[in-house]
Amino acid sequence: MGRVKLQIKIIENMANRQVTYSKRRNGLIKKAYELSVLCDVDVALIMFSPSGRLSLFSGNKSIEEILARYINLPGHERGGRLHNQEFLQRVLVKLRRDADQTHQATRIFEGDLSEVTTLHEAEYWEQILEETLKRLHVRKILDKHKTLVHDSDKMSSWMTSSIALKRFWHAMLIFLSMNEDARYSPPATTNVDEFVTSSPHNMLVDWLPQRDLQSLNFLNANGFLPLRDEAQSGKS
Amino acid sequence: MGRVKLQIKIIENMANRQVTYSKRRNGLIKKAYELSVLCDVDVALIMFSPSGRLSLFSGNKSIEEILARYINLPGHERGGRLHNQEFLQRVLVKLRRDADQTHQATRIFEGDLSEVTTLHEAEYWEQILEETLKRLHVRKILDKHKTLVHDSDKMSSWMTSSIALKRFWHAMLIFLSMNEDARYSPPATTNVDEFVTSSPHNMLVDWLPQRDLQSLNFLNANGFLPLRDEAQSGKS
DNA sequence: CATGCTATTTATAATTA
DNA sequence: TTAATTATAAATAGCAT
């Protein structure tokens, strides 16, 4: 999407790489956010930049919640691909014991905002606030310079509107990068199929530059290529 | 990027939502893949569709590796005042129990609205919203009909204004503690540190229904009302 | 349900300020 | 250097299969 078509291989030039990372990270997070909202899906996104900096995003729920849900998936041992159940369990335990998520949020508060999804959060917050304001009828209040809303009915309808509540809540979570722990078991009404269940094989192949068959092989070796039905037809 | 500009809100039509999910999920994974290759970053992406199906992606490392890296971040297990994990746990349990007791307060929202709490909340929320709006410069947005705030400096200064944030956060905590949706109330009481640490004491007093002064005292007695902020003066 | 097909909207690489 | 701008490449919404 730039002036030229970019090969998907590591960007050698450090500066360019950094710039690209910054841009694409934002883009990715935005996409993740949009997906989470549009389709009401839980999304957790974790990134470590080459310099070791962490970026993360989660939609409706906190990162930990989603990780816990992932870790608790019953299908893990079944898949055969997902080994090391014990390791995952230990991870979960650790998650549960790390009650100090404030640290990270604090860090963000204190100024380390570069790794946060600032613009997207702004956008998101606008929506949230706007929506909430509509419901709360605070807009009127703002205009009228602090006339209190004592309309119980309106308040009630807003407060009981779990959607508005959810969005607000989620906004807080996202914004704060608040990682509350997973000490309560997630719903876990989940059926895991496989890794990248419906990722069409040819899609991956298309993504990969031809000379990156190595990557393809890597993916394949790690079970990222379903190699089921349609994948069998020699695509590469 | 389609025939029409799509609002970022949940797609009501189930079929459309499913299609969009499918497409955007693939797109997101592709983006994640490209980022991981182009910039040599570890990326972990976990998605749960509404139907509970898992999709995930990770770059050259396995999901578990990345999760482990994330979980083992130094910031997670440190955190000054939180040495006493077990105590924290007990606090959490108690808080949650208190929240359950408050459950009946929910009825206020459901029907009988002539309670003090509601009005009080309304009042409080006005303040919160107004304050946040000022900082976010969303007021202008509202007037200008949704002009996005992309002034990162302003956002940044707002984001780093932890006071507004904390107040917002605390408002959510209290509010959610009165909400019966169990899915969302636990996280609220989870982050007790943030909850009590920066809560101005009198603010908490105001928020909590009288019967919950018990929990307040409990917290205070155990040093969980540090009164860091402006409440520093009146340590009860 | 997943794909193919445009018309459009987005994302972004290169360039410039 | 970092932040805008611009020219292109990509993604994708609505449809039709």
**Nearest beta carbon to residue A118 from set B46, B50, B152:** B152
Of A41, A50, A125, which is closest to B48 when you measure between CB atoms?
A41
Residue A22 is predicted with a pLDDT of 87
What's the confidence (pLDDT) of residue B170? 39
pLDDT at A60: 66
Q: Which residue is nearest to nucleotide C6 (CA to C1')?
A: B3
CA distance A167 to A165: 5
- Measured between CB atoms, does B164 come within 8 Å of chain A? no
Distance B211 CA to C15 C1' (A): 65
A188 vs A152, residue with greater confidence? A152
Q: Express as a percent the part of chain A with pLDDT over 90.
A: 1
Of A11, A136, A138, the CB nearest to B38: A11
A23 pLDDT more than 70: yes
- Per-chain mean pLDDT for chain A: 48
The stretch A47-60 carries a mean pLDDT of 78
Which of residues B172 and A113 earns the better pLDDT score? B172
Reply yes or no on whether the pLDDT at B71 is more than 70.
no
Identify whether the C-beta of residue A31 lies closer than 8 Å to the C-beta of residue B27. yes
Start-end of H helices in chain B: 14-38, 63-71, 74-77, 85-101, 106-110, 116-136, 138-143, 152-159, 162-177, 185-190, 192-197, 201-207, 213-221
Smallest CA–C1' separation from B51, nucleotide: C1
CA of A169 to C1' of D14 (A): 32
Q: State residue B50's pLDDT score.
A: 72
Average pLDDT, chain B: 48
CA atoms within 13 A on the CB side of B193: 24
Which pair of tokens denotes residue B29? 């994974």
Asked if residue B234 has pLDDT above 60, the reply is no
Judging contacts by C-beta atoms under 8 Å, the chain A residues touching residue B22 are 198
pLDDT band at A189 (very low <50, low <70, confident <90, very high): very low
What is the mean predicted confidence (pLDDT) over B55-73?
72
Q: Tell me the mean pLDDT in the region A200-212.
A: 32
Residue B39, exposed/middle/buried by CB under 10 A (0-12, 13-18, 19+)? buried
Span A144-158, average pLDDT: 29
A-contacting residues in B 77-136 (Cβ below 8 Å): 77-79, 82, 85, 88-89, 92, 109-110, 113-114, 118-119, 121-123, 125-126, 129-130, 132-133, 136
**Would the CB atoms of B54 and A73 count as touching at under 8 Å?**
yes
Residues 6+ apart with CB under 8 A from A226: A194, A196, A197, A198, A199, A201
What confidence category does residue A20 fall into, taking pLDDT thresholds of 50, 70 and 90?
very high
Which of the nucleotides lies closest to B23 (Cα–C1')?
Answer: D12
- The answer to whether B40 contacts chain A (CB < 8 Å) is yes
Cβ contact A137 with chain C strand, < 7 A = no
Residues B88-144: tens digit of each pLDDT: 333 333 333 333 323 322 222 222 222 223 333 444 444 444 444 443 333 232 233
Query: A170 falls in which pLDDT band (50, 70, 90)?
Result: very low
The alpha carbon of residue A154 is apart from the nearest alpha carbon of chain B, in Å, by: 10
Nearest CB partner across the interface for A149, out of B113, B126, B175: B126
Q: Name A158's Cβ contacts closer than 8 Å, sequence gap at least 6.
A: A132, A135, A136, A164
Summarize pLDDT for A59-117 with one digit per residue, the tens: 767 666 777 677 666 544 323 333 334 444 444 444 343 323 323 332 322 223 233 33
- Scan residues 186-205 of A and list those with Cβ closer than 8 Å to B: 187, 189-193, 195-200, 203-204
Any atom of strand C under 7 A from CB of A74? no
Cβ A67–B55 below 8 Å, yes or no?
Answer: no
- Residue A74 has a pLDDT of 56
Predicted confidence at residue A46, as pLDDT, reads 86
pLDDT tier, B73 (very low <50, low <70, confident <90, very high otherwise): low
Nearest to B122 among A98, A149, A193 (CB): A149
**pLDDT greater than 70 at residue A191:** no
Is the predicted pLDDT of residue B56 greater than 50, yes or no? yes
**Chain A interface includes B67 (CB < 8 A):** yes
Distance CA A38, CA B50 (A): 11
Q: Which pLDDT does position B68 carry in this prediction?
A: 67
Which residues in chain B have Cβ-Cβ distances shorter than 8 Å to A9? 37-38
Spatial contact of A40 and A53, defined as CB atoms under 8 Å apart: no
Q: Encode pLDDT of B174-219 as tens digits.
A: 333 333 222 222 222 223 223 322 333 333 333 333 333 434 443 3
Triad A198, A50, A112: Cα angle to 5°: 100
- Strand partners for A112: none
Q: Is the pTM of this model over 0.85?
A: no
Catalogue the E-assigned strands of chain A. Answer: 42-48, 54-58
Average pLDDT over residues A215-220: 40
CA–chain centroid gap for A154, Å, is 33
Tens-place pLDDT, residues B137-156: 332 322 332 222 223 233 33
The whole-angstrom separation of Cα A166 and Cα A172 is 10
Q: Is residue A49 scored above 70 in pLDDT?
A: yes
Q: H/E/C letters for each residue in B119-186?
A: HHHHHHHHHHHHHHHHHHCHHHHHHCCCCCCCCHHHHHHHHCCHHHHHHHHHHHHHHHHCCCCCCCHH
Instruction: State residue B20's pLDDT score.
Output: 92
Contact B146 A153 (CB under 8 A): no
Of A57, A174, A110, the residue nearest B75 (C-alpha):
A110
Q: Best interface-test mutation with A: which of B127, B159, B169 has the largest number of A CBs within 10 A?
A: B159
CATH superfamily of B7-61: Transcription factor, MADS-box (3.40.1810.10)
A149 in B contact zone (CB under 8 Å)? yes
